[in-house]
Amino acid sequence: MTEEQERQDNDELHKSFLDENWARPHSATVRRKAESIAFCNIADKLTIQDEQSRRKHGWHLEDPEYDVVHIMTYMRQRLSNSSVFLMEFFRDYDSTKRGYISTHDMLRGLDGCRCFQDMSRGEKGLVVRFFSEDRPQQFKDQTFNYAVFCEILQPTNDTRVQMNNVYQRLKEELDAFNPDMSLDSPYAIQPLTPEGELRCKYLKRKLKHKITSTRVSARELLGDYDPHLNGGTVGWMKKTSKHTQFLCNLPGCISRSQYMRGMVRLAGDLGLTEDDMNLIYSKYERNGAFNYYAFCKDMDRPSSPIKFREGGNRTPLDFSGNRTPLDLM
């Protein structure tokens, strides 16, 4: 790609971002492409990718395109959970002290802070394109505006940093985005299609009834696999740590294979199909692991009371007046 073509692509990216007809639901979950997710281990990644290719019933959303707002929201949330000051990893490469560095130095600095090792090449490339600007001939290699990039991710109210309309719009979008829906939130969940949400609600109701009637603790069954609850010395870690690294080692998360073993014990004789198990996993997937924190929170939540039609019709309704998932299955 020539410099002229690259400049035109960057201009189109900025123009589309400033389009007045362009809108984003701020309550949407931060979603990333499957290739960008650091799965718990290689076996899990291969299994999940194979099952994604065989998804049925239209329950799952399509894999999202690269989105600068979602990527930057993910990066901002990741930085807020760490003690890293991002500017320190870029300023040493700025020999002219003008707030610009080369693309190569930007990638080196990003790798150096060790917060974004699970970001894909495509995600990093979109960030580079978005913050690259035209510079005079003597600074043609230093095109990445790291000063604005760091100010947006970690605001310090530095008056020396000047933002154009594109950067201001991006900052407003990030400020308005719901951080609780990001992938680093303790209760992060994923959106599904309307049919998928309906089916998932039905499955959760069956599981909740099973848990209540048998007095089985979902937290204990699934928490047995969480190293953070067991001091990091549980048996599966001793056996597999030498062969399969647990990349998504987050509190409240377990791998897909552990989820399947726990759900077999939890669901018992409910007759859940493989598609049903995959649907529940997709709903509570968090960076390649199963977020059993969020799952158990929903299981503990009391069911909504049943409302009946007037005139003796005993068809149960939810409070919105629609038929319940139990009637539609």
pLDDT > 80? residue 211? yes
Please say whether the beta carbons of 210 and 216 come within 8 A. yes
pLDDT in tens, 72-131: 887 887 787 778 899 999 989 998 888 999 999 999 998 888 888 777 788 888 899 999
Residue 203 near residue 44 (C-beta atoms within 8 A): no
Domain ranges of the chain: 3-30+62-181, 42-61+191-303+315-329
pLDDT at 164: 85
pLDDT-derived band at 264 (thresholds 50, 70, 90) equals: confident
142: left (phi over 0), alpha (psi -120 to 50) or beta: beta
Contact 203, 273 (CB under 8 A): no
pLDDT digits (tens, 9 = 90+) for 162-188: 888 888 888 888 887 665 555 666 777
Report how far apart, in Å, the C-alpha atoms of 240 and of each of 47, 49, 227, 228 are. Answer: 17, 21, 13, 16
Query: pLDDT, tens digit, for every residue of 220-234?
Result: 888 887 777 655 444
Strands 285-286 and 253-254, bridge-based pairing:
unpaired
Three-state DSSP state, 133: coil
145 beta partners: 100
Two structure tokens written together for 85:
């000051």
Kindly state the DSSP code that residue 320 receives in the 8-state scheme.
T
For 148-163, b where at least 16 C-beta lie within 10 A, e where not — what string? bbbbbbeeeeeeebee
Q: Using an 8 Å Cβ cutoff, are 55 and 136 in contact?
A: no
pLDDT digits (tens, 9 = 90+) for 13-38: 666 655 544 444 433 455 555 555 55
